[in-house]
Amino acid sequence: MGEQSNTFFAVPQQRHDMLVKPDRDETARQEFVRGFKAFIQSGIVPGIHASYHNEVKPAFERQTGRSPRDRHEIRDLMIKHPLFQTYASLQRVSQELLWDVVLDSVERELPALMAQAGAGHGGTPLGSLTLDPSLDLPKYAVGVDIHCMPGGYGQDAGQGDVTAGALYDRGVYLYALGMMGPLNDDIGGSAAKFVRDRYPDFRPRRILDLGCTVGHSTLPFVDAFPQAEVHAVDIGAALLRYAHARAESLGKTVHFWQQDASRTHFPDGHFDLITSSILFHETSAKALPAIIRECYRLLAPGGMAVHGDLPPFWAMDEFNQFMLDCETYYNNEPYWGAMREVDQVALSVQAGFAAQNVEFCMAPSAYRAAAGHHRDFQAGEFAPGDAWQVLVTRK
């Protein structure tokens, strides 16, 4: 985390009717985890950089006459280093602790949250929720508790369960140290702003958000394109019940669907704008090309897809690749490293997009722009909190 990131450190999470209200003890434990995670970044990570560059790498070069070849070779060296071992184990512990402390609040408040989701917000709902109990949940997405969230994305006890959504909403805020804004929506907000700024005459009639989870990144598209009908899909029923209730509570009209993003039920050419935020790094080598192909099928001529995620590995040096890849090893993110090596441009072209209509761009943070921060970013630049990488494909 850079110095600027601290600007957002103290931003409290914005309240809405579905957000858990931690009691005093739970608040203390959650704040501890947030501080613990921030300490790992500011107190330990710089030491790992220094150990590698001042100690481990020069020793390797003296021994072999060359630099470490790639992130795998760096990992083989660093995994023996006591400071790195400390970092890796603290990262894992902090993540498990994070879910533990959020789960306390969710379990205590679950009956009230379920009642709230079931009751709606009075009057006619703004949007809708369509669940499909027959959906075959993709194994790659539910076979592992991604980023250690207990029960994972597919967890659903039925009968109005919202546990997965409640856990995710609070947990992601703590994980991101507030860097994604008070509504955890900076990726979607920045992508929506990017589309508006770059294509001022583009007026999408229908928008689809893929892998919406609880709708963090969906809602900014409602605000950015008020004339459009906004739809969002995910595979998790308990996520979607929560997402629907959260959107209603925030006064936003979204149609949520339980569907697989790689084979939706929507007709060909149904959408002008398709978006996804941090979906790609959680999809398998088989699912990712299928999702990009589905985007091509679903887009109307003249439409575009904008997918926000962290940058591919080609955009950074081997040491930063190695550090980012720690999520693969210590945070149950099995596709995190592999996805960053996939040639997303080639996949898009194979899916039918013309090569000249496929590009990686940087979407500067909408929150930072609102706070007056402006600078140019290079495609692929790793600038967490300052700008987000987007893959843009136009049909």
Q: Considering beta carbons, is residue 175 or 360 the nearer one to ligand SAM?
A: 175
Q: Considering beta carbons, is residue 233 or 358 the nearer one to ligand SAM?
A: 233
Concatenated DSSP letters for 144-193? S-GGG-TTTTT---STT--HHHHHHHHHHHHHTTTTTTTTT-HHHHHHHH
Q: Considering beta carbons, is residue 16 or 81 the nearer one to ligand SAM?
A: 16
Q: Considering beta carbons, is residue 5 or 284 the nearer one to ligand SAM?
A: 284
Q: In the complex, what is the shortest distance from the CB of residue 51 to ligand SAM, in angstroms, rounded to a whole number?
A: 31
Closest residue to ligand SAM, Cβ-based? 211
Q: In the complex, what is the shortest distance from the CB of residue 95 to ligand SAM, in angstroms, rounded to a whole number?
A: 14
Q: In the complex, what is the shortest distance from the CB of residue 266 to ligand SAM, in angstroms, rounded to a whole number?
A: 13
Q: In the complex, what is the shortest distance from the CB of residue 230 to ligand SAM, in angstroms, rounded to a whole number?
A: 13
Q: In the complex, what is the shortest distance from the CB of residue 291 to ligand SAM, in angstroms, rounded to a whole number?
A: 6
Q: Considering beta carbons, is residue 48 or 217 the nearer one to ligand SAM?
A: 217
Q: Residue 385 corresponds to which tokens in the numbers above?
A: 């909190």
Q: Considering beta carbons, is residue 206 or 281 the nearer one to ligand SAM?
A: 281
* Alpha helices (H) in the chain, listed in sequence order: 24-39, 45-51, 57-64, 71-78, 82-119, 139-142, 163-175, 186-198, 219-224, 237-249, 287-298, 318-324, 326-330, 336-339, 344-351, 366-370
Concatenated DSSP letters for 294-353? HHHHHEEEEEEEEEEESPPGGGS-HHHHHHHTHHHHHSS-TTHHHHTTS-HHHHHHHHT-
Binding site for ligand SAM (CB under 6 A): 138, 141, 153, 187-188, 211-213, 216-217, 233-236, 239, 260-262, 277-279, 282-283, 287
Q: In the complex, what is the shortest distance from the CB of residue 392 to ligand SAM, in angstroms, rounded to a whole number?
A: 17
Sheet strands side by side (includes 387-394): 128-130, 255-258, 229-234, 206-210, 271-277, 299-309, 387-394, 358-364
